[in-house]
Structure 1
Amino acid sequence: MIEAKFEKYTLIFEKPSGTSRGVLTTKDTYLLHLREVEKGNNRGVGECGVFRGLSFDDVPHYEEKLKWLCENINLDKETLKEELRDFPSIWIGYEQAVANLLYGEALYFPSDFTDGKDSVTINGLIWMSDREEMIRQIEKKIAQKYSCIKLKIGVDLESELDILRMLRLSFPKKVLEIRVDANGAFSYDKAQMVLEQLALRDVHSIEQPIKARNISQMADLCRNSPIPIALDEELIGVVEPESKRQLLQDIKPQYIILKPSLVGGFSGSDEWIEVAESLGIGWWITSALESNIGLNAIAQYTYTKNNPIPQGLGTGMLFVNNFQSSLILKKDKLYFEKSSKVCF
């Protein structure tokens, strides 16, 4: 018999963090706690990392669905999965909590990573800000020996393009990989110009140049772009496996970006990866502003997928009131420190 409860937790950013959607100062998340009554009170925790304004399941009755899960936690997995199909952030919290209940401490996906024998390479994330602050962020990541950085763009394009130009003068593409993320900031016509300008600066790829659900326009951009395009928000809310395949066949992107909390948890991410690889489409995994609890679980999952390119898992240090982490960063390598325990 398993007992379940949830609690709301508000993460506070150390610095206001800018995206093309606005500036973030706080982020609400939910922790799902499980207790196995009949087996020595074993406990597990998972994070239901809803992302307000972006998550498919950002709905008024979100907490009601969490309450339903706690009251029905002992139903079989397939029944719960079907009921939570439209609540990916709750489903991944369940997946995490069940795995943690099984393995204990801060473990979700035991591997050489959690044994401290291997690492996950990550990109350095540069948040939108004024020119001087973005340059400071970039200089810090380069000093920390990152081989790949990702810049949020779409607020002050002229300044952002100039920063990229200056960056390339000092760091050619064989030394530094540059990714950019527009979060759907550009119109179709503007995006075509932006893609050309990014190509001149040897940018590796751009995430979501136009808003999601403009299938024909996105397909046209992917077909003609001088640099690879990665789908991100485009994947949110696409639930059925066949719908996932149809979307990727229609658009034919070069990459997809998987945020497990937004695209159906670990099982949903597995479906996306299977479809993408069958179509010759690349992918990588990123966090979505989870606390260290969710970030830890996602990092462990990511390692098991054996993808050697830099992953987007570097958001754990953004919050002043985060939980103790089992993850440590050495240059651009993320390691799991087995002696640590996540506190919750």
Structure 2
Amino acid sequence: MSALIIKQINLEFFKLSLRQPIVTATSTIRERTGIVIEVIDQLHNRGLGESSPMAGFGMEPIIYTARSLKRMQRLLIGKAIASLEDIPNLLSLYNLPPAAKHGIELALLNLWASYHQTNLAKLLHSHQRSEVAVNALIGQVSPELAAQKTQQLCELGYKCFKVKVGDPQDLQRVQAVRRTVDEFSKTATTSEINTEIKIRIDANQAWTVVEAIAKLNSFSDLDIEYVEQPVSAQNLTEMAEVCRNVSIAIAADESVKNIQVLEQIIAMQAADIVILKPMVLGGILTAQKIAKIAVGAGLDVVFTTTLDGAIAQKGALQLAAMSEVHRACGVAPTELFVSYDTKINDLLTSTIPVIGGRITVI
């Protein structure tokens, strides 16, 4: 096939409001804002991308995202793409901040996939998994509400729960989730559950080293899969110290902002698992590259998002489908959102059904 030519780039701001605020140890998230990118070629194929920067992950403010994308809107018109490699090569010419780069890269990758009548996972990897296991989220709610929500999600088939911790009720909340999971597992039929239900926790940098070690030791009999970011993301020495002193696996989340930091994590043995967010890392291709380095160094990988809209969620899902990741990923549908103010809201709030704790990749 001949090269595709970029003929048009459309940008549209959006705001998605959460059904319920998500409370973490460091902030309360009530809405997500961002920009949808639509790129159209000479044959009227189109590719969609999403840029949704989130505070606290080293990403740029939305005003800089917008400024960068408007610059791309001018500079990319008329550019030819003749191979997949042309996309990262083209974007490397511009100094783009992470969320902006993620959005325009995803739009171009989706355009290239549409041009070749395939999907993103098959475009980037010949062997795509048909399903991806996903986790459900339990926020910083009361133990009673956590148990109620866990029961509902178990009945829907979820096999993995991520529980937010870092507040005075965190131990009681996780205990409530564990009791609910264990009781469900005892009464469930073989058709309802055929794999162990896992619980992971996310501290969002809530603790000091001393607090983290004490807290995690108090969780030791609850069969925790791993804990995300127990201490400051900026201090890998503290992460390594926690790793050496607890039995629960440690996952680096906010710490992982680029390849250089990953290499430091590996050298310092500061984590057992890395959580990779394409929006934070500047795109699907960078996340894929970092995942390969991590796996090669003996670390496990989990892909997730920064509470993104459906366009970015689907991109992360496709990334998980073409990887060797075996743990449940944080790429479940966008049912968290209730309202929006964009003309293409269906694209941002559409969901892919979760069946038995898994999403079918299309």
Quote the residue 1:7 is aligned against.
12
Tell me, in whole angstroms, the C-alpha distance in 1 between the residues paired with 2:153 and 2:251: 23
Which of 183, 205, 208 does residue 170 from structure 1 map onto?
A: 183
Identity of aligned residues (%): 23
String of CA shifts for 1:133-156, please: whole Å, max 9, x gaps.
222211111111222111111123
* Structure 1: unaligned runs, 5 residues or longer: 338-344
Aligned ranges 1:134-213 → 2 under 5 Å: 134-155=146-167, 156-164=169-177, 166-167=179-180, 170=183, 175-213=196-234
Query: Is 1:180–1:207's contact at 8 Å kept on the other side of the alignment?
Result: yes
TM-score (norm 2): 0.82
Is the Cα contact below 8 Å between 2:161 and 2:200 reproduced in 1? yes
What letter is aligned with 2:100? I
Q: Give the deviation of 1:323 after TM superposition.
A: 2.6
Structure 1 residues 226 and 164: CA distance shift in structure 2, 3 A: farther
Residues of 1 paired with 2:352 and 2:281: CA distance?
A: 23
Number of the residue aligned with 2:342 = none
Asked if residue 296 in structure 1 is aligned to residue 314 in structure 2, the reply is yes
> SS at 1:20's partner residue?
coil
Q: 1:272 aligns with which of 275, 290, 294?
A: 290
Range with greater deviation from structure 2 (191-200 or 114-123): 114-123
In structure 2, how many angstroms separate the alpha carbons of the residues matched to 1:64 and 1:135? 44
Aligned-pair CA distance for 1:167: 4.1
One-letter code of the match for 1:25? R
The equivalent of 1:340 in structure 2 is none
Match of 2:48 among 45, 51, 61: 45
How far the C-alpha of 1:190 sits from its partner, in A, is 0.6
1:23 aligned residue:
28
Q: 1:125 aligns with which of 113, 137, 157?
A: 137
C-alpha contact 1:106 1:326 (8 A) present in aligned 2: no
SS class of match (2:145): helix
Contact 2:32 2:52 in 1 (8 A): no
TM-score between both structures, scaled by the size of structure 1: 0.86
The answer to whether the 8 Å contact 2:163/2:202 transfers is yes
8 A Cα contact 1:204 1:227, kept in partner: yes
Q: Give the root-mean-square deviation of aligned CA atoms.
A: 2.8
Deviates more, 1:161-170 or 1:117-126: 161-170
Distance 1:281 1:291 in 2: 28
- The 5 Å alignment of 1:194-273 reads 194-236=215-257, 238=258, 241-273=259-291
Equivalent position SS for 1:109: helix
Q: Distance in 2 between matches of 1:204 and 1:138?
A: 16
Amino acid at match of 2:244: R
**Partner amino acid for 2:308?**
E
- Map of 1:282 onto structure 2: 300
Report if the CA contact (8 A) 1:126-1:134 is conserved. Answer: yes
User: Pick from 54, 57, 65: which aligns with 2:57?
Assistant: 54
C-alpha deviation, 1:274, in angstroms: 2.1
CA displacement at 1:171 relative to structure 2: 6.2
Matched positions, count: 330
* 2:69 counterpart residue number: 66
| In 1, Cα distance between equivalents of 2:179 and 2:333 | 25
